Amino acid sequence: MSDLLDVQNLSVRFGVRRKGGFFAKPTYLTAVDDISFTVRKGETLAIVGESGSGKTTAALAIARLVSGLTSGKILLEGRDLLPLDREDLKDMRQKVQVIFQDPYSSLNPRKRAEDIVREPLDSLTDKSISEKREIVDGLFKAVGLHPEQKRLFPHQFSGGQRQRIGIARALSTQPEVIICDEPVSALDVAVQAQILNLLRRLQTEFGLTYVFISHDLGVVQHMCDSVAVMYMGKIVEHADRLSLFNNPLHPYTAALLSAVPSVDPMLREQSRRILIPGDPPDPLDLPKGCRFASRCPVAEARCRDVAPRLKLAGSNHRAACHLVEDETSPLAGIRS
Amino acid sequence: MMTDQTIDPPVAKARSPLSEAWEMFRHNHSAMVGLGLLVLIVLAAIFGPLLYPTDPFDMVWAPFSPPGEEGFLLGTDYLGRDLLSQILYGARVTLIIGLSAAIVTVVIGVTVGALAGFYGGIVEEALMRFTEFFQVLPTLLFSMVIVALFGASLPMITFAIGIVSWTAVARITRSEFQRVRELEYVMASRASGASNSKLMFEVILPNALPPIIVQSALMVGSAILFEAGLSFLGLTDPNVVSWGQIIGSNRQYILESSFTVTIPGLAIFITVLAISLVGDGLNDALNPKLRKR
């Protein structure tokens, strides 16, 4: 299948003013640094990483929702979304919708559920009132809510129900791409599974393409077709799901995967935790070499001097590490 | 269509945040007392002069007749004018000035605060410096200058009070906008295609409103006090009666017949107290973080 979404060299910078107040020279924080990826129609790309890795910024940039300076290209069906002006933006927003992280803050507390779900239709389309009502009723059913509940206010719903409202809102304009910004991380584990199943069912039903942001690799494993791992604004590894989970090449990915808890005692025996000591570098003062070098257990001198580029290390498997050779992780020696 | 799980049976009644706030307010005794007083005062201001049609400027009896004598319930002032009638007519003027000055305050304050809080950056810097300029002006002096320069008409007095007291509303609005602006539902509305003006006035403002409502309610009270202060100093429209003006004109005789000053003073006191009680009740009812206290 063809690439629906093609992100090329996307960077997002924010101006920050440090000490010195009004007259201080602004410096720039590069939250997302020159990343590229593609997503095929009907598939799910997961972007994983720790807090501050830039994964949410990257995803929200695709939906044109960040205030920073954005450069690069975001092609949706071949059309660049970044230079769009107001009218074209309306068209684009119909095609790209977002499911937000926290269902407790993503629904306007002063609006009724039906008004929240209908808002994209009101602002972006010129459908008639009866058409919109029909769509909203259908969406309530599709996400597993009773249409009778549509007059209620957000605080009268549970967390899982609220996230269903958020999903119904994202679906209302029949989008091509849905950005899921950690859609289950604020929910109970039992509810997480329900919402993930709902998202998967809706994906096959409506042929949706997801960009799925998460820090929970268990969730990612359940949801995605391919995975991009971000660290300090860079993609450090990008591969198909199986290939990434079975054979993580970048030391950071390997460390992340080794931290996923397992219920299987056999598996627990086999795997040893790879600990990554220390803190990430100051995002305002990034090292010139590999950004992970300061915490990497196998870093060498060249890692600190030369920043590695994302290079092909297997079929559909890319990693940004000097030490990766032919689908072999530099950690292979010390892991088992 | 298939669902993943069964969901609670539909809840029968939709309860808006506003109806819940009223529920809170209703159970707050002091707020309800304040509201009751306020309703009485407003009714007196509207219907009093109709039921008691004595002209407040007519000299009806000898000066300084104590309350209750000769059928004058509240007595007469230094010119022999009926105090009860003055209080009733004065209530209209006082309340109208209080209310309209509060409206001026809210219109200026919310506009400035909303723009500053929404756009941030240079817009905010400029608007907040502008606000601080008004904040450091001595309020009474500045309003006296305005009234003295442009004449002591009711609209000018209202404007003078409004122009010196909008800064508090602007600062509250700005901070609320800054808080609400960061919430995800604002970004969700943006993703749904809402324009900036829609975000400001239809999404953020309703959610930023509670502390602004409380502040504006208290603003009515302080505007009444401010007007009383100006009238006391003689900066008032001589063609209408207000409570402050009654105090101001009788102040020379405060030692001989104190009731001419005490009675309008009490009227101001009770009104401002009622407004403060209502404002406090609104604060408790509208601010969910304080509810648990």
pLDDT, tens digit, for every residue of A122-156? 988 888 999 999 999 999 999 999 888 888 888 88
d(CA B279, CA B271): 12
| Model confidence at B228: pLDDT above 90 | no
- Residues of chain B above pLDDT 70, percent: 92
The highest-confidence range among A193-202, A273-282, A284-293, B60-69, by mean pLDDT, is A193-202
Separation in Å, CA of B290 to nearest CA in chain A: 17
- Amino acid identity of residue B45, one-letter, is A
Q: Which residues of chain A lie closer than 8 angstroms to B210, CB-CB? A: none
Residue B231 has pLDDT above 80, yes or no: yes
Lowest mean pLDDT among A189-193, A219-223, B18-22, B93-97: B18-22
Of A264 and B25, more confident: B25
Is residue A240 in a domain?
A: no
The pLDDT, as a whole number, for residue B261 is: 84
- Closest CA in chain A for residue B206: A110
Report if residue B15 sits inside a domain.
no
A188 three-class SS: coil
Determine, for residues A107 and B188 on separate chains, whether the beta-carbon distance falls below 8 Å. Answer: yes
Report the CATH number that the domain containing residue B157 is assigned in CATH.
1.10.3720.10
Report the complex ipTM.
Answer: 0.83
* Residue B74: per-residue pLDDT: 73
The two beta strands, A96-99 and A44-48, are unpaired
CA pair distance A178, B80, nearest whole angstrom: 79
Cα gap A165→A172, rounded to integer Å: 11
Confidence band for A210, pLDDT divided at 50, 70 and 90: very high
Where residue B2 falls among pLDDT bands split at 50, 70, 90? very low
- For residue A194, give the nearest of B4, B191, B192 by CB distance: B4
Mean pLDDT: which of A248-262, B33-47, B226-240, B279-293 is highest?
B33-47
CB contact under 8 A, B184 and A100: yes
Is A152 close to B14, i.e. CB distance below 8 A? yes
Please report the pLDDT score of residue B9 as a whole number: 54
Range of the domain at A261: 248-336
The domain tally of chain B equals 1
Q: What is the mean pLDDT of residues A299-317?
A: 85
* pLDDT attached to residue A18: 63
**Residue A139, pLDDT score:** 92
> Is there a domain that residue B148 lies in?
yes
For A3-21, the pLDDT digits (tens) are: 889 999 999 998 876 655 5
What total of structural domains would you count in chain A?
1
What is the residue-averaged pLDDT of chain A?
86
- On chain A, the residues whose CB falls within 8 A of the CB of B129 are none
- Closest partner residue to B184 (CB to CB) among A106, A149, A161 is A106
Q: Is B91 domain-assigned?
A: yes
Q: Which chain A residues are within 8 Å of B194, Cβ to Cβ?
A: 119, 123
Q: Residue B229 in contact with residue B53, Cβ under 8 Å?
A: no
Task: Test A152 with B16 for CB contact under 8 angstroms.
Answer: no
- Whether A11 has its CB under 8 Å from any CB of chain B: the answer is no
Question: In DSSP terms, which residues pair with A71 in a beta bridge?
Answer: A11
B235 within some domain: yes
**Residue B265 host element (H or E):** helix B259-286
Residues 6+ apart with CB under 8 A from B214: B279, B282, B283, B286, B287
* Structure confidence by residue, pLDDT tens digits, B150-172: 888 888 989 999 999 999 999 99
Quote the percentage of chain A above a pLDDT of 90: 37
Q: What pLDDT score does A84 carry? A: 84
Summarize pLDDT for A36-70 with one digit per residue, the tens.
999 999 999 999 988 888 899 999 999 998 888 88
Q: Please report the pLDDT score of residue A300 as a whole number.
A: 84
Can you tell me whether residue A97 is helix, strand or coil?
strand
pTM for this structure? 0.82
* pLDDT: which is higher, A213 or A299: A213
Q: Which among B280, B214, B225 has a CA at the least distance from the CA of B32? A: B280
Looking at residue A21, its pLDDT comes to: 59
pLDDT of B3 higher than 70: no
What is the spatial distance between Cα B204 and Cα A62, in angstroms, rounded to a whole number?
Answer: 24
Contacts of A109 in chain B (CB under 8 A): 17, 185, 207
Instruction: Determine, yes or no, domain membership for A111.
Output: no
Q: Is the Cβ–Cβ distance between B208 and B178 less than 8 Å?
A: no
Partner B, chain A 114-133, Cβ-Cβ below 8 Å: 119-120, 122-124
Q: Is the pLDDT of residue A273 over 90?
A: no
Is some CB atom of chain A closer than 8 A to the CB atom of B14?
yes
Number of Cβ pairs < 8 A linking chain A and chain B = 93
Helix (H) or strand (E) holding A69: strand A69-76
Residue B14 placed within a domain: no
Of residues A300 and A196, which shows the higher confidence score?
A196
pLDDT of the residue at A19: 59
How close does chain B come to A126, measured CA to CA in Å? 13
Instruction: Tell me what the mean pLDDT of segment A64-81 comes to.
Output: 88
- Whether pLDDT at A267 is above 70: no
Measured between beta carbons, which residues in chain B are less than 8 angstroms from residue A145? 7
Of A106, A148, A155, the CB nearest to B188: A106
Average pLDDT over chain B, rounded to an integer? 84
Please indicate, yes or no, if residue B280 is contained in any of the structural domains.
yes
CA B272/CA B206 separation, integer angstroms: 27
Q: How confident is the model at residue B293 (pLDDT cuts 50, 70, 90)?
A: very low
Kindly report, residue by residue over A99-127, the tens digit of the pLDDT.
999 998 899 988 899 999 999 999 888 88
Residue B292 is predicted with a pLDDT of 43
Question: Which percentage of chain A shows pLDDT scores above 70?
Answer: 91
A93 and B192 in contact by Cβ < 8 A?
yes
Pairing relationship of beta strands A317-319 and A96-99 according to DSSP bridges? unpaired
State residue B5's pLDDT score: 53
Percent of chain B surpassing pLDDT 90: 27
Whether residue B239 is contained in a domain is answered as yes
Q: Any idea which of A18-27, A143-152, A165-174, A227-236 has the lowest mean pLDDT?
A: A18-27
Answer yes or no: do B10 and A65 touch at CB < 8 A.
no
The answer on pLDDT for B7 being more than 60 is no
A residues 49-68 closer than 8 Å to B (CB): 60, 63, 65
Q: Which chain B residue shows the shortest CA-CA distance from A115?
A: B189
Is 60 exceeded by the pLDDT of residue B268?
yes
Residue A177: pLDDT band (50, 70, 90) is very high
* pLDDT over 90 at A199, yes or no: yes
Contact B187 A65 (CB under 8 A): yes
Is A186 within 8 Å of chain B by CB? no
Asked if the structure places residue B31 within a domain, the reply is: no
Please give the Cα distance from A148 to A134 (Å, whole number): 13
User: What are A238-242's contacts with CB under 8 Å, separation 24+?
Assistant: A238/A37, A238/A310, A238/A317, A238/A318, A238/A319, A239/A314, A239/A316, A239/A317, A239/A318, A239/A319, A240/A316, A240/A317, A241/A46
pLDDT band at A271 (very low <50, low <70, confident <90, very high): low
Residues A230, A235: Cα–Cα separation, whole Å: 4
Beta-carbon contacts of residue A187 (< 8 Å; ≥ 6 apart): A103, A159, A160, A163, A195
Torsion sign across C-alpha atoms A121, A123, A127, A132: positive
Tens digits of per-residue pLDDT, B72-96? Answer: 777 777 777 888 888 888 888 889 9
Task: Compute the average pLDDT of residues A202-220.
Answer: 91
Tell me the pLDDT band of A23, cut-offs 50, 70 and 90.
low
- Full domain range(s) for residue B239: 36-291
Segment B207-231 shows an average pLDDT of: 87
